[in-house]
Structure 1
Amino acid sequence: MFQVFLVEPDMQLNHLLCLYLQKEGLITTSFFNGEKAIKNIDKNPHLWILDRETPTIDGFTILSEVKSKYPDIPVIMISEQNSNIDRIVALEMGCDDYVSKPFLPKELVLRVKKILEHIHGNVKNRNRILLYAEYKIDEIVRIVQKDEEMINLTSKEFDLLLLLVKNLYRTFSREQILKYVWNDGHLGAERSVDDLVRRLRRKMRNLRIESIYSYGYRLLPNQVLKIKGCKTVTTQNEDIQGLFQ
Structure 2
Amino acid sequence: MSFKIYLVEDDKNLNLILTTYLEKEGWQVSSFLTGKDAQKSINNPPDLWILDIMLPDIDGYQLIKEIKLTTPNIPVIFISARDADIDRVLGLELGSDDYLAKPFLPRELVIRTKNLLERIYGIQYQVINIPPYTIEEKSRRVKLEDSLIDLTSKEFDLLLYLAKNQGIALSREQILEAIWGSDYFGTDRVVDDLVRRLRKKMPELRIETIYGYGYRMIENDK
| TM-score, length basis structure 1 | 0.49
- AA in 2 matched with 1:95: S
The Cα of 1:54 is off from its aligned counterpart by 1.1
Query: Equivalent residue for 2:213?
Result: none
1:44-74 residue CA offsets vs partner (Å, 9 max, x unmatched)? 1000000010111000000111111101000
Matches within 5 A, 1:81-100: 81-100=82-101
Is residue 116 of structure 2 the alignment partner of residue 115 of structure 1? yes
- AA in 2 matched with 1:50: L
Specify the SS of the correspondent of 2:17: helix
Specify the SS of the correspondent of 1:42: coil
1:157-189 residue CA offsets vs partner (Å, 9 max, x unmatched)? xxxxxxxxxxxxxxxxxxxxxxxxxxxxxxxxx
- AA in 2 matched with 1:76: I
- AA in 2 matched with 1:107: E
Query: Equivalent residue for 2:12?
Result: 11
Query: Equivalent residue for 1:72?
Result: 73
Aligned length: 123
Matches within 5 A, 1:52-201: 52-121=53-122
- AA in 2 matched with 1:111: R
- AA in 2 matched with 1:51: D
Query: Equivalent residue for 2:41?
Result: 40
Q: Distance in 1 between matches of 2:101 and 2:44?
A: 27
Q: Distance in 1 between matches of 2:13 and 2:45?
A: 25
Q: Distance in 2 between matches of 1:58 and 1:102?
A: 19
Q: Distance in 2 between matches of 1:48 and 1:14?
A: 14
The Cα of 1:5 is off from its aligned counterpart by 0.2
Q: Distance in 2 between matches of 1:43 and 1:25?
A: 20
Query: Equivalent residue for 1:151?
Result: none
The Cα of 1:121 is off from its aligned counterpart by 2.9
Specify the SS of the correspondent of 1:53: coil
Provide runs of 4+ in structure 1 moved above 3 Å.
none
Q: Distance in 2 between matches of 1:71 and 1:52?
A: 18
Query: Equivalent residue for 2:127?
Result: none
Specify the SS of the correspondent of 2:122: helix
1:7-59 residue CA offsets vs partner (Å, 9 max, x unmatched)? 00000000000000000001000000000101111111000000010111000
Q: Distance in 1 between matches of 2:122 and 2:28?
A: 20
Matches within 5 A, 1:210-221: none
Q: Distance in 1 between matches of 2:56 and 2:68?
A: 20
Unaligned runs of 5+ in 2: 125-222
Specify the SS of the correspondent of 1:43: coil
Matches within 5 A, 1:214-233: none
- AA in 1 matched with 2:116: I
Q: Distance in 2 between matches of 1:108 and 1:72?
A: 20
Specify the SS of the correspondent of 2:51: strand
- AA in 2 matched with 1:102: P
Q: Distance in 1 between matches of 2:39 and 2:121?
A: 26
